[in-house]
C-alpha cells in the first residue's frame, strides 16, 4: 500500500493544526477502540496513513476531478483521538457535525474537513459496502441539501489523487 508516497513529506508542518488536530501516535489498541465506537472497520490504508502521523494537514491537499472540473481543498484529516478538538471524537468531531450541522449519520465516518469552514465534509462512505467493507470516499455538501458526491472508490485512491494546488490548471 502507498508504495509511491513519501510519508515524511506528506504532512505539512503547522503549529496550529498540530495544536487542534494532530493526536498522539496511533496504536493498534486505539484503532480497535475507534472501530468499536464507530461501529465500522476502518480501511487499512487509512490506518496506515494515520500511523505515520495521527491527523493533520497534507502538503498535497487538493483533490480534482478533471472530467467534471470539481475541486476539493482538504483542510485537515482528523486524528483518531478525542484529545484534540479536530479529531474523530473531539469537540468538533463526528458528533458535532451530526448534531449541530445535521450532517447525515447513515453515510459513514467524517474523517476530514475542507477549506469551506464546515460547509463540506469528507466521509469514509460505507453505504454500499456495509460496516466491514472497503468504504468509498465521498464529500457531503451542506449548502446543497447535504448532496453526497463520491470522490474515490477507496481511501488509497483518494490519497493518491491528492495534488498540490500549483499542479492544478
pLDDT tens sequence across 115-153 = 999 999 999 999 999 999 999 999 999 999 999 999 999
Count of CB atoms situated within 10 Å of the CB of 10: 17
Name residue, grid cell 496504536: 27
Beta carbons of 153 and 65 less than 8 angstroms apart: no
Hey, what domains does the chain have and what are their CATH numbers?
Answer: 11-161 (3.40.1580.10)
CA–CA dist 160, 162 (Å, integer) = 6
Record the pTM. 0.94
Q: For 39-62, how does the pLDDT look when each residue is reduced to its tens digit (9 = 90+)?
A: 999 999 999 999 999 999 999 999
Q: For 55-83, how does the pLDDT look when each residue is reduced to its tens digit (9 = 90+)?
A: 999 999 999 887 777 899 999 999 999 99
Q: What is the largest CA-CA distance in the chain?
A: 43
With 0-12 CB in 10 A as exposed, 13-18 as middle and 19+ as buried, what is 137? buried
Amino acid at each position: 500500500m502507498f508504495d509511491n508516497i513519501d510519508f515524511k513529506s506528506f504532512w505539512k508542518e503547522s503549529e496550529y493544526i498540530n495544536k487542534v488536530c494532530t493526536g498522539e501516535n496511533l496504536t493498534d489498541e486505539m484503532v480497535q477502540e475507534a472501530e468499536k465506537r464507530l461501529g465500522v472497520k476502518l480501511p487499512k490504508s487509512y490506518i496506515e496513513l494515520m500511523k505515520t502521523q495521527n491527523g493533520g494537514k497534507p502538503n498535497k491537499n487538493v483533490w480534482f476531478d478533471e472530467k467534471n472540473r470539481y475541486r476539493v481543498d482538504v483542510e485537515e484529516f482528523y486524528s483518531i483521538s478525542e484529545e484534540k478538538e479536530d479529531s474523530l471524537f473531539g469537540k468538533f468531531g463526528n458528533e458535532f457535525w451530526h448534531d449541530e450541522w445535521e450532517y447525515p449519520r447513515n453515510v459513514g465516518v467524517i474523517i476530514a474537513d475542507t477549506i469551506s469552514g464546515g460547509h463540506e465534509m469528507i466521509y469514509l462512505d460505507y453505504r454500499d459496502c456495509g460496516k466491514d467493507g472497503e468504504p468509498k470516499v465521498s464529500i457531503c455538501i451542506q449548502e446543497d441539501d447535504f448532496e453526497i458526491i463520491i470522490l474515490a472508490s477507496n481511501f488509497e485512491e483518494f490519497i493518491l489523487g491528492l495534488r498540490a494546488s500549483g499542479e492544478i490548471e
